[in-house]
Amino acid sequence: MPLHPQAQQVIDATRALGLPPNHTVSPAEARANAAQRLRSPGPDVAKVEDQSVPGPATNVPVRIYTPDGNGPFPILVWYHGGGWVVGDLDSADGAARHLCASSGNVVVSVDYRLSPEAKFPEPFDDCYAATLWASENAESLGGVKGVVSVGGDSAGGNLAAAVAIKAAETGDVRVSHQLLVYPVTDRDFGTGSYADNGTGYNLEREGMMWYWDAYLADPADAADPLAAPLRLPADFAAAKDLAKAFTITAEYDPLRDEGEAYARHLQQMGVPSSGRRYDGMIHGFFGLASNMDTARVAMDDAGAFLRGAVDDVVAEYHAQHQGDTGAMRQLLDPQARNVLEIFDSLDIKPFQEMSVEECREVMDNRPRPQGPAVGQVEDRVIQNLYGKEPGDVPIRIYTPDTQGPWGILMWFHGGGWVIGNIETADATARELCVGADCVVISVDYRLAPEYKIPHAVRGLPHRHDLGNLQRRIAGWSTQRRRRGW
């Protein structure tokens, strides 16, 4: 499709700055110039904290973004883009905030050493060390020790893919998800997307050549999968341990083809790998989610992918805290935990240790919430004329405080077929009546063990009874309209 108008606006705004191409200036000048380019702010999150973590040569600065809510949260370790030469925690701030908010992950953004002062593998080593630190300190971050996700854009996507490879190979940490945003995956400037998009779309072919020269100490390093992930052998022994991947590419990006090639390469190796090309977009669009509509779509897609890490976190948490009821309760919503604490305070024996009569007495007398007011409540008894033992069936009818006609919901209370009645179901029936704006008929069916299956089922209102009730309810609706209710 044509270049998106919002992408063209970004290109025009960048050109208006009058900055020289990065490959024509020193790394220091390139970094100063990069700070003048458009940056997109991110949303507020619950907490942002700067720290330094142990690295292979010196401490590595990180910025930690914590989402709203209660953990444990998945943890995403994020590596910024910038061709390994430019970029820092501030340039990554907007994207990190968006990812934190959209995915519900704690985001640990890594300020790795830059090239050419630090050549491969030194920036990678910083990223790997920060990832291990995040895993080891996950509990203090609000996560679960032993499992993280990784992600990055451009050169950061390259680093994320490389970290996932080494983690699979060594088993040092389990990386469950890798989010690769237009990643650099190979030192190949002859792809179709380089030919089509190598000039005029903010990221230039000559610029990428300059970035690679700055990153590699030896051109031979371009064959190392930790520098060029697309060179990962198809028979990689630890392929089964590679993290599931989601790859984002842009139509007008010279890196488009190599990113999509890596996504296919992972698929061919048996790794769960998916991706999406965002038509009309340029390199760098992902970090502009506050300015570009398609960037917001991509950010939402990334957030949905990373939310899948919750399953891995919960599984790891269960494995680590098996048999610890108190620890397991930390996975619950705070209000659910509060309900359990109230029940604990009542010191009620397990139902299986009580007689049926005791169970029912406890159920009838334990605290219950109050439901909302409804238009009308009527208790009735209808006749069950079917089954082996016909008899009376008490019901309670809840009618909305609105004008009908209404739908009808038949509600059958819980309680293991042994306990419960229309009183214990009262609050739920009221909530359903108001929330669904429908008539709720709560049924007080006969209970076990006095009445075995199929008594409870055969004691339900017959269609003839429901027809009479519908006519009665329709009459209530007419009365309300006449009285102006």
Alpha-carbon separation of residue 287 from 105, 115, 129 (angstroms): 17, 22, 25
- Catalytic (active-site) positions: 154, 253, 283
* CB-based contact 377:398 (threshold 8 Å): yes
**Tally of CA atoms within 13 A in the half-sphere of 233 that contains its CB:** 5
Give the DSSP H/E element, type plus range, for residue 79: strand 75-79
Chain centroid to Cα 246, Å, comes to 13
Phi, psi (deg, nearest 5) at residue 336? -65, -40
User: Which residue bears the tokens 């698929």?
Assistant: 267
Closest of 160, 163, 151 to residue 305, by C-alpha:
151
Sheet with 391-399: strands ordered across: 376-384, 391-399, 439-443, 408-412
Q: CA angle at residue 40 from 37 to 44, to 5 degrees? A: 145
Helices and strands (DSSP H and E) totals, the chain: 17, 12
Strands 273-282 and 391-399: unpaired
* Full DSSP string of 121-160: THHHHHHHHHHHHHHHTHHHHTS-TTEEEEEEETHHHHHH
- In whole angstroms, give the CA distance from residue 17 to residue 7: 16
Alpha-carbon separation of residue 25 from 80, 117, 125, 210 (angstroms): 21, 15, 27, 10
Query: 3-class DSSP state for residue 447?
Result: coil
* CB-based contact 37:86 (threshold 8 Å): no
- In whole angstroms, give the CA distance from residue 111 to residue 224: 23
Strands 75-79 and 47-53: unpaired
Q: 63 has which bridge partners?
A: 50, 109
